[in-house]
A and B are shown apart, each in its own frame.
Chain A
Amino acid sequence: METKHLICINCPMGCPLTVEMNGEEVVRVKGNTCKRGEVYGRKEVTFPTRMITSTVRVVDGISSVVSVKTREAIPKGKIFDGMKELKGIKIKAPIQIGDVILANLADTGIDVIATKNVEKR
């Protein structure tokens, strides 16, 4: 049986997790203090995902960039593909929190949305 050691990232506790695996299958997660730890442990070894946060440029806004995020976490392996797609994007102000900046980032099915309001200049 194979074991993987992780640190749970759900909260600041940072529980040290041990995930026991049989091939691709997760047998057991140890070291977690809550349910979320187990879910994280299972997911992190089989299908790790991350939120991306970044900025894109704004045209005619009171600020020159707006902060954005993926609405949900995307597969970890897609992070840099996603960043590549964000390059060169320009959005016209006004922008509201939650506005879709780019749909279906890097074919993940997940949109990139604004996380800040930017008023028109």
Chain B
Amino acid sequence: MKSYDVVVVGGGPAGLAAAISLRKNGIDDILILERDQELGGILNQCIHNGFGLHTFQEELTGPEYAWRFIRQVEELGIVYKLNTMVLSISPEKVIRAMNREEGLFDIQAKAVILAMGCRERSRGALNIPGYRPAGIFSAGTAQRLVNIEGYLPGREVVILGSGDIGLIMARRMTLEGAKVKVVAELMPYSGGLKRNIVQCLDDYDIPLKLSHTVLEIKGKERLEGVTLGKVDPQGKLIPGTEEFYSCDTLLLSVGLIPENEISRGMGVEMNEVTSGPKVNESLETNIEGVFACGNVLHVHDLVDFVSQEAEMAGKNAAAYVKAHGRRDDKGQVIALTPGEGLRYTVPETLRVTHMDDKLKIRFRVRDVYKNCYVSTYFDRERVMHKKHQILAPGEMEEVTLTRDLLLLYPKLKTIAIRIEED
């Protein structure tokens, strides 16, 4: 059986950044396994601009952002296999993969970085009633068709869900010759970034209907239209608000789900809120030497943060390999808990002995909060308290913990982050 120090599963933004970081931290024996025919992952179909403001201080398109990393991977001579599907990973880190040339093969890794990304929630997950005609796409599928294949999925479009991909596709399809009639969002707030609402909807006079959902799908062969209706705060239809929109296309941008079937198969423990692995400060899962980063860990809105996270995963995996695969859980292990107003935190546990000078705790809030504070509690004591004008579930937030501060609390058991009103 072939073996590598580290196998990175996925050659998207997370996998690329993780591999580069591994190399920069002294690991030579790296293999990236990518299921698509090129590196870059979902960035290849995100041809709009706005990537890289944090990382490169300039605005790049998705393929350009990916290229900056792909070029480094090439220059560093990191080995990768394309068109290669990972079928399973054993708890002993034997990876079974498959491609056309080599067939089915097994690889032994000392450490594994999970970077498989996420998939879109489908119509089925929403259980939207009606017929099942052609013309219903998840936004990302439509994005691939338009941006990679050059085909327009339809001419009259309704979009359900105001996730970023849906907003981006509203503009893309408008520019390519379709009429986007409306974007409906079930929640009373948008799930996407504000800049996308402005640049993708407002610019083209596409109405955004908040607290609206699709009630019915009409059309037996090709979609003929959808009925939208307004819902109350409990999600129940307000009678009399039903409105029919004729359209041949319905795009769904209703959420992303980390793709963790392989992780579950190998026994990685999952966080039910994120649908991603539970990780410690090193982004390491319950299985020693198995790390996770990017959208497989929790769904991000900015690729820059994916790259940062992956860089950290790479660095920590390198340290693990250099320590000859021994994990030390003996010291103080602090639990991080999402308090009032938070959905989750990543990571969930913290070993002060293993952290850098600074550690970013990333989280999402449950609701839209205005003029509030993000407070960090060390057990019962509030140690940080930062004012925010606005917090929204669509935008990932972070709190930075310093090692120096944590060293002052040698008995600390839990850290809770919560949202507090004035």
**A interface, CB within 8 angstroms of B:** 6-7, 9-12, 14, 50-55, 57, 63-65, 67, 69, 76, 79, 83, 97, 115-117
Contact = CB atoms under 8 A, between A and B. Distances in A.
B150 A64 contact: yes
Central interface residue in A14, A52, A79, A83, by most chain B CB within 10 Å: A14
B301 interface: yes
B195 A115 contact: no
Interface string B51-64: 00100000101011
B63 A116 contact: yes
B406 interface: no
A54 to B, nearest CB: 6
Given A50-B199, A63-B148, A9 B175 contact: no
A14 B199 contact: no
A76 B148 CA distance: 25
Given A54-B176, A67-B63, A97-B67, A9 B194 contact: yes
Nearest to A48: B203
A21 B354 CA distance: 54
A94 B176 CA distance: 24
A45 B195 CA distance: 16
B147 interface: yes
Given A51-B49, A64-B149, A65-B149, 18 more contacts: A7-B197, A7-B198, A11-B53, A14-B195, A14-B198, A53-B47, A53-B61, A55-B150, A63-B148, A65-B147, A67-B61, A69-B49, A97-B63, A115-B47, A115-B63, A115-B64, A116-B47, A117-B67
Interface of B: 44, 47-49, 53, 59, 61, 63-64, 67, 146-150, 175-176, 193-195, 197-199, 203, 301-302, 395
B195 A12 contact: yes
Contacts of B150: 55, 57, 64-65
A116 B198 contact: no
A54 B146 CA distance: 9
B387 to A, nearest CB: 12
A79 B175 contact: yes
Given A54-B176, A79-B175, A97-B64, A9 B198 contact: yes
Contacts, number: 70
Contacts of A53: 47-49, 61
A50 B49 CA distance: 10
Contacts of A63: 148
Nearest to A76: B203
Contact of A12 (B47, B63, B193): B193
A65 B149 CA distance: 6
A85 B217 CA distance: 36
A102 B254 CA distance: 36
B87 to A, nearest CB: 26
A9 B48 CA distance: 14
A79 B224 CA distance: 30
Nearest to A57: B150
Given A9-B195, A57-B150, A69-B61, A116 B49 contact: no
Contacts of A117: 67
A19 to B, nearest CB: 14
A83 B147 CA distance: 15
Contact of B395 (A12, A65, A115): A12
B229 to A, nearest CB: 28
A50 B149 contact: no
Contacts of B59: 51
Nearest to B204: A79
A96 B395 CA distance: 34
Given A51-B49, A52-B175, A65-B148, A12 B194 contact: yes
